[in-house]
A and B are shown apart, each in its own frame.
Chain A
């Protein structure tokens, strides 16, 4: 797929294609079909976000990324290390080699985990007692224990997790997905980020952004205030019927001196109609009063400490139902200790963060499954890195990018299995190592997109999400 810098050029290519494919059909019998095709073509032509065919048959149509910002520990969650517990308080044996750290001192000692692991589900996968709810869903989950990234500081690692680059300016995976597939939802934004109301993350807004892709592919941030989506609410005192008239006026005035067949201007007219629809229909997404009590309880809505993350996970499900392509639900924000960034006290931090998210995450999996949506919804769970086997201070853990755990579920992922491993103290990923790029490649693959074909010409290079490489994690499909 050769796509170019200019939306106009893109449009005109589609136009040429359409002309070539439409002319010459004169048969009356074909007229109706042609008419439908024409209507669809009109949509494609004038809406850059209209659904586009994938490169091959997709398994997933939506992606939800449960982003545990700050870096959850592999050792306390999905990767039990008996030897580490045995070596608690001792210096790291030389055989485990070095890792680059941010704050760990040379004389640091290994820190065993206080968490208890138990095997769960038919698959018997180890999950710690931090995640009693998620443990119930483990047969849906493919645990990736051999993850690694290139950077050990938050901002660079977060950029890499989202865009495959350790610096800002490149499109995030959500924007790439949108660019490749368009949106299935007419009246909702197609790529949604729900940040944690506790505050910002180190990499800031550029982490989620469209980089050099057109603004069409930018994320929509859902705030936590009264009006979660920017500009969806009409100004005070303006009624919907009045606004309809204004939109109609804009259309009339614009059509009055437009050339028939002018696609760019047709696209603008269409954008206003779509905006009007979004304005009336999108707020419905936030109205969860129609959800059953059982569902609300499942997500832990209305109860602390799960209310906030539970609400956002529930919203994520509602978005998926409406065909939203890519949703990020962020856990953690603001100062490090309000993220999973447990420098001071791994126990205090992770018990608190897990209590906020475990039930909602499991609820999302359960809810999607019972609605038949899990098959087409790919879930990714994890942070920008894991945490160090060595102690920072007495009971904290530092950042750790050379071996940690993420997991995937749904969207064609075969659950109930573990892929990859770290060494015996949870230091380095040693088996079936999995870079962020491999995760990106796998996500694209499940969406029916070929990593080499999803490119965009920028600064003389056909850029792509996966830089120059990336492997589909075949074992978990």
Chain B
């Protein structure tokens, strides 16, 4: 049966797959076939991701060996699929592998040699669970999982395009995300704050809550923005901004490629062009705002001072134009001094607000062209997930985006919970239950374990949308703790070459940020400071010269800041760090739900000849000298423990010892950064 839930006039309609019945306002069912006033066919309504979540029970097993393998309900779902094909799961990973796996997975950092040792020696049954809990409550957890979210919302601190202007306060959004993961903010709240934080009500004494939500609403400003020189195409630019705002809502929360319906009805999904613009209408009054944090007095003083200095600058600039050669250098000096006196900008919140007097009239646009306006449209949620015949919302809704958020976070909405648990699964296993994590439409992949997906989504919602509860469920499963090596690999591959069914754990290469952070960590150089404005590290002058405004790159003066975790480096669209770029950091322009891991020679050149790797190799070598002393075998042993979590094999030890007879320790340390055992997680 169908269920309709009204909230602020928005409803979510979910169809139960076995009995596709649409509902009307009275809740009475209608015929299963497409009715006269439902423009969607039964097969469209019944697409697996649009139907109501089922609430499946974990399967039971007759055989004792099967039952013994099941530690978490997840295992039961996974094992059933494996058994159907005659496959068996891989044996459990050894403890060294396992601890390295969860450390990188949850914190993006390697375990220290001590942590490995402690875990290996602790054979209590709770040891693993304790580690999981410890890591889930560590501040590094939010830094790692926050980065995943920043990938999806294509977070950057600059506008891209020609001017690539910096948003000096955008870092607050990054910190907001890190905090949200660390505090296990309920996901429905997380969605609501990003979509409508500025529309939420707070009691006068909850200043922190209000500010936090305003920062979250900066979500709408994260896309690239084109600024024009000369005649501004005002309407056109506004349309581009609204396009960015609309598309990302679909991608991020709904796992739908809404953007495809901007120019025409969606080619694959039952999303009409009208749906696109009706959803866009929720953002029609949304405009940028910088909310000052300083009090009024300070702001007035700042303005006064600025005006004063600017007047002086103007005066000097004019004087220089007509000055004699002699006077010019003196005046230039004065000009420099004046410029230095401009007061530093005052902190503000990077946010949005509604300006209803400045609401953009939303029309259907032929081929997405602002100059080919079709009929005007109002706000309405997606037709396929709304009641047939439901009319558009009135244009004067006082909190339009809150309405949108309520619709999306409705517990019965079929998409957001599935999409989010699938993202979590994807980051743990390297592949989602639905492999197309940003596309749950007809053209996306179908779930490899549909019941498991629903089970997790159901648990997610019933656990108060707790992300950490899903982590625990997954991490404590035997599925997660499998080895990446299967004794019958060859056979298993003939049945399931892609390892969709999870007959073993999927080895992965570290992501770009993890590689940099791990190199800093093993060299004892990582600065673990949390939060704050983005850091600019030194880069080759030639890269700066290639910026349209080279002055934008102002290297952070305090050099200890250059060793911060990668998530705290400024995310600039037109200047990405080559080190991160070469290891497949997303391009910061479009949403990235799945990173690629390519292998090519420029990576090797970066590791062999790059400034960072060579500098850190020296530091790492120094650490080996200090901690392992003069004995070559000790140094080798320690180097392997620190970088890979394992002692060297005999063959490795021999090769390394042979090398170190004649070659410098620096070169050995550099080689350790290129070790598969360092760059990959098993």
Contacts and interface: CB of A to CB of B under 8 A. Distances in A.
A169 B228 contact: no
B596 A5 contact: yes
B674 interface: yes
Nearest to B609: A231
B605 A246 contact: no
Chain B interface bracket (under 10, 10 to 19, 20 to 34, 35 or more): 35 or more
Interface in B496-546: 497-498, 507, 540-542, 545-546
Contacts of B602: 189, 215, 218, 220, 230-231, 275
A225 B542 contact: yes
A206 B160 contact: yes
Interface stretch (A115-123, A196-204, A295-303, A310-318): A196-204
A229 B473 CA distance: 48
A7 B596 CA distance: 7
Contacts of A461: 257, 260, 443
B575 A205 contact: yes
Interface stretch (B285-293, B554-562, B581-589): B581-589
A329 B313 CA distance: 40
A200 B547 contact: yes
Given A102-B228, A460-B441, A250 B674 contact: yes
Contact of B599 (A197, A201, A257, A267): A267
A215 B546 contact: no
B257 A460 contact: yes
A199 B546 contact: yes
Which of B260, B546, B592 is most buried by chain A, counting CB atoms within 10 A of its CB? Answer: B546
B596 A249 contact: no
A456 to B, nearest CB: 10
Given A102-B229, A215-B581, A275-B605, A200 B546 contact: yes
Which of A155, A203, A212, A225 is most buried by chain B, counting CB atoms within 10 A of its CB? Answer: A155
A66 to B, nearest CB: 19
Contacts of A86: none
Contact of B574 (A167, A204, A233): A204
The B interface, classified by DSSP as helix, strand, loop or mixed, is: loop
Which of B259, B576, B674 is most buried by chain A, counting CB atoms within 10 A of its CB? Answer: B674
A114 interface: no
Given A156-B161, A206-B160, A214-B596, A271 B601 contact: yes
Nearest to B507: A264
A261 to B, nearest CB: 9
Interface string A210-233: 111011101011011100001111
Contact of A249 (B259, B598, B614, B659): B659
B667 A245 contact: yes
B38 interface: no
B598 A214 contact: yes
Contacts of B268: 460
A48 interface: yes
A279 B597 CA distance: 23
B651 A102 contact: no
Interface of A: 5-9, 12, 16, 48-49, 100-103, 153-156, 167-169, 189, 195, 197, 199-206, 209-212, 214-216, 218, 220-221, 223-225, 230-235, 238, 242-243, 245-247, 249-250, 252-254, 256-259, 264-265, 267-268, 271-272, 274-276, 278-279, 457-461
Interface of B: 160-162, 164, 224, 226, 228-231, 233, 240, 251, 257, 259-260, 268, 436, 438-439, 441, 443-444, 485, 497-498, 507, 540-542, 545-548, 550, 573-576, 578, 581-584, 586-587, 589-592, 594, 596-606, 608-611, 614, 649, 651-652, 655-656, 659, 663, 667-668, 670-671, 674-677, 679
Chain A to chain B: the 6 pairs with minimum beta-carbon distance, closest first: A169-B589, A460-B439, A275-B604, A214-B598, A204-B574, A102-B230
Given A100-B233, A102-B230, A169-B590, 4 more contacts: A203-B162, A212-B587, A247-B608, A276-B604
